[in-house]
Amino acid sequence: MEQLIQGLPDDIALECLIRLPYNHLSTASLVSPPWKLHLQLPLFLRHRKTAGFTTNVIVMAQSPPQTNTGKAIPLANSYRLTLFDPDSGSWSELPSLPGMNRGLPLYCGLVGVGSDLVVIGGYDLETWKSLNAVFIYNVVSATWRRGANIPGVRRSFFGCVSDSDRMVLVAGGHDGDKNALRSSLAYDVAKDEWLPLPDMSMERDGCKVVFQHEKFHVIGGYRTKTLGRFERSAEAFDVASWQWEHIKEDLLETSTCSRTCVVGDDGKLYMCREGDLVPWFKVAVLVIDSKGPEAYWSQCIGLVSDDT
């Protein structure tokens, strides 16, 4: 078998490769077939992570401004994905989704799963119809691939989040007739496979999903008959037992939209309320209202790790 680096044992060559910056790995995979093979192995990714050479990057959905009026105004319904590397302070724009040159589907779900960014559903900018498409961008290879379509009804305004490893939970939302949904699904990114879950205890349109303490928590949302009147409760799905647990009533202090909820690195839950960042009991979500370079209008959607 061809050596990774001529004249060096492969174990020493691998020690060199794990030290490559994540944004050079896609180019490095073109050097030779053995490099490409090893760079894509889960063992290589785990080795790099164990050695402490992984990097967290921030991916943002941003609307580039139009400046014909002399002011930076976001372009209506035109969103692109940009990547910020906190270590180097550099910004870059990700390639467009395949077949979606006008930008991201409106109101799509954006989730970071290890070294992948998963784009789920949303509205087609040409037809304004709800999509069941899934697109996956790998930060290491810098390429897009199609995932398996979302099964069942085409849902909008659903909640979604990942366990940061391989699973994504999609819950609630509404169907094409604006009926709020109790159903939920799990997506295994590694297997490219959707798994049906038991229904939630109630309909939850416009809900928020967070992953905390090894469980998926679905917060708030509203029912079909109470359009726009948000619930204050939450319920959790335990992956180990594959079932929903008891409902936590009155988790929210007021009946409000929970879309700004996030779990921080400290395991606490936070939300934005009346312009302030507010901690919730012993849970946390970190929402960053941030402006990128060149006066881009932006919404931070989360961290993606190169996990290598």
Cα gap 236→217, rounded to integer Å? 4
**pLDDT of res. 146:** 96
Say if CB 183 and CB 202 are below 8 A apart. Answer: no
Cα torsion 296, 270, 208, 166: sign = positive
Q: Dig out the tokens for 36 from the structure.
A: 């490409």
The length of the chain is 308
Whether the per-residue pLDDT at 40 is higher than 90: the answer is: no
**pLDDT of res. 77:** 60
Residue 101: band (very low, low, confident or very high) from pLDDT cuts 50, 70, 90 = confident
Say if CB 296 and CB 64 are below 8 A apart. Answer: yes
Q: Dig out the tokens for 279 from the structure.
A: 């901690």
Q: At 166, which amino acid appears?
A: R
Domain residues of the chain, as ranges? 10-51, 96-286
| CATH of the domain spanning 96-286, picked from 2.120.10.80, 3.40.605.10, 3.40.50.620, 3.90.226.30 | 2.120.10.80
Say if CB 45 and CB 308 are below 8 A apart. Answer: yes
Percent of the chain beyond pLDDT 90?
Answer: 31
Q: Dig out the tokens for 74 from the structure.
A: 């976001």
Question: Integer distance in angstroms from the first to the last C-alpha of the chain?
Answer: 24
Question: Whole-prediction pTM value?
Answer: 0.78
Helix 10-17 vs helix 42-50: crossing angle, to nearest 10: 70
Task: Specify the 3-state DSSP secondary structure of 266.
Answer: coil
At residue 45, what are phi and psi to the nearest 5 degrees? -65, -45
Strand order in the sheet with 56-63: 90-93, 80-85, 56-63, 297-305
Whether the per-residue pLDDT at 151 is higher than 60: the answer is: yes
Residue 307: band (very low, low, confident or very high) from pLDDT cuts 50, 70, 90 = very low
Beta strands in 163-214 (DSSP E): 167-171, 184-188, 193-196, 208-212
**pLDDT of res. 85:** 85
- More confident site: 33 or 277: 33
Whether the per-residue pLDDT at 7 is higher than 90: the answer is: no
Longest Cα–Cα distance of the chain, Å, equals: 71
pLDDT single digits (tens) 200-259: 999 999 999 999 888 999 988 999 998 878 888 899 999 889 999 878 887 776 666 766
pLDDT single digits (tens) 173-203: 999 999 999 999 999 999 999 999 999 999 9
Cα gap 2→10, rounded to integer Å? 10
Cα gap 252→267, rounded to integer Å? 18
Whether the per-residue pLDDT at 274 is higher than 80: the answer is: no
